Structure 1
Amino acid sequence: MTLTVMSQNVQYGAADTSRWDGLVDLIRTVQPQLLLLQEVDFLADPEQAATAEKSLGLRLAVAPSRNLPTAVAWDPERLELIDTETKYSTTDLHHGYCALQLRPLGLPAAWPVPLVAISTHLTPYSAEAAGQEAQLLCARVYRHGGIGLIGGDINHMPLGDPEPDWDLVPPYNRASRCLRRQHPDEPWRGNRIVGQVFRDADLTDVAAIQAALHGDPSLLEPTGKAGRVRVDQTHVTPALLPALDSYRRIDPGEHSDHYGIAFTLQLPRVDTALTRTYA
């Protein structure tokens, strides 16, 4: 009854080196039943996607993208695919999103609505533009009843995380991730508009709630190795929140410039009373 969810930005060009093989080994060590991937340019090739399925031991759906594709992989022995939705992936988002509707298998009673799992990669170039992308994704995650999660490379400051040392952050990241300064001597402050969008949609940041519950600020450590921000995040709907059980950051070593993240859900604790039909 436990579902392990993992998200990993594999870093562009992973298939051109041995990095993808190293990430596959890492993923198989974590053993997720639900896997969110970003920057999987090579998986747009159906043959490479089929090879990835075999190496991961999971089924795989890859979304179309104007830039770097996203994907969701799942264990067919634990989750049944109902549908895949990428309606706005190439028109309204910089990198896009991959949204799956899934039915958990083996539960004593069927849920009234599917589990919606979205892998996304928000634009890195503007917090304001990423906020608009997040607004669209909030609509998609609730669209089929309200049991859902949005995860991936969110690219911007979460609510509540401490400010990094912005002087150590590349200037282009400061320009896209910080609030505008009125004077050059004014300190940099992160623009948290994306986190505000998720909060206003009643979504909960998995790492933040686990850090608060366990009094463990280490769970808020950065996941972007260069940008010094916890850009890799997962946000869950109210129905999923009672099922949240754990969270951890995963070091991919030299195989990616992003840490992976993983958490577990105790599926019997999902609050199906909070589901409803949304227009």
Structure 2
Amino acid sequence: MSQNAQYGANTDGRWEGLLDVIRGVGPQLLLLQEVDWLADPDNAEAAKQALGMDLAVAPSRNLNTAVAWKPEALELLGTETKYSVSEMHHGYCAPRFKPLGLSQDLPEPLVAISTHLTPYSADVAAQEAQLLCARAYRYGGIALIGGDINHMALGDEEPDWALVQPYNRTSRCLRRKKPTDPWRGNRVVGKTFMDGEFTDVAAHVAALRNDASPLAPTGKAGLLRVDQAHVTPTLVPAIKNYWIVDPGPHADHYGFAFTLDLERANTSLTRDYT
């Protein structure tokens, strides 16, 4: 599951409501964004107890990301946040796990990256995505990247850009030659994930269901499916399901959840990092 908690959830009473939503889903793996208060060890410990999960929080220049997991399902091998502060606006949290209970252990760790790409420029966000692609493949290439990607996915339909705030159009749209030209979304972030051989989980599940209807937006105000998950080729056969999680009044983003059957991972597609 992934959820952008929306800045200030700890101070305006929304975090407790989000905890109820998350517990209702019951994820084994949880990707969180905009959880800066969890950088405080006492707050992180309280969140661990409330979730019944272990927790890693990445350092950040702005708003922290985090990953939580059920220790009975995933054994933590290490956490990487090497470039979270120096190279990214919000950062990323990249723990790697040994999944437990499989009939055969995976040959490489499962890397699960929670991230929040910059909202201010699709081109800069694409550079951040390039970095994350490299970190996802760093330990053999059994990996997922999820969170607030902030920009248009490749196959999504154009929203009514007239309803979008001007500052969001400046960051999420292609440049126009004159004011009367139509707005078009900048899909460079989606192209970056495609070039890294990542698969958009929501789009993949829609294709499996033969569902041609537009994928639902996750940003309640911005009209885009900004919250996304992308997986490396090893995990594509493992994708089983995807759904939107409604946090009600507790966040300005819908969350999402998806299931992976790691027994079906194509481990022949792992690769050395050189």
Match of 1:271 in 2: 266
Matches within 5 A, 1:10-49: 10-49=5-44
Matches within 5 A, 1:209-224: 209-217=204-212, 220-224=215-219
Give the TM-score taking structure 2 as reference length: 0.99
Matches within 5 A, 1:167-178: 167-178=162-173
Match of 1:140 in 2: 135
SS state at 1:72 partner:
strand
Match of 2:107 in 1: 112
**Deviation string, structure 1 residues 109-145 (Cα, Å, up to 9, x no partner):** 1111000000000000000000000000000000100
Matches within 5 A, 1:107-256: 107-217=102-212, 220-256=215-251
The answer as to whether partners of 2:29 and 2:70 remain within 8 angstroms in 1 is: yes
SS state at 2:42 partner:
helix
The answer as to whether partners of 1:219 and 1:249 remain within 8 angstroms in 2 is: no
Displacement of 1:210: 1.0
Displacement of 1:17: 2.0
Q: After superposing the two structures, state which structure 1 stretch, 52-61 or 216-225, moved more.
A: 216-225
Distance 1:276 1:36, change over 3 A: same
The answer as to whether partners of 2:193 and 2:199 remain within 8 angstroms in 1 is: yes
Percent identity at matched positions? 68
Match of 1:3 in 2: none
The answer as to whether partners of 1:83 and 1:101 remain within 8 angstroms in 2 is: yes
The answer as to whether partners of 1:179 and 1:190 remain within 8 angstroms in 2 is: yes
Give the TM-score taking structure 1 as reference length: 0.97
Distance (whole Å) between structure 2 residues aligned to residue 122 and residue 26 of structure 1: 24
CA RMSD, Structure 1 to Structure 2 (Å): 0.8
Distance 1:39 1:216, change over 3 A: same
SS state at 1:180 partner:
coil
**Deviation string, structure 1 residues 157-196 (Cα, Å, up to 9, x no partner):** 0001000000000110000000000111111000000000
Displacement of 1:217: 4.5
The answer as to whether partners of 1:208 and 1:219 remain within 8 angstroms in 2 is: no
* Aligned residue type for 2:199: T
Structure 2 unaligned spans of 5+: none
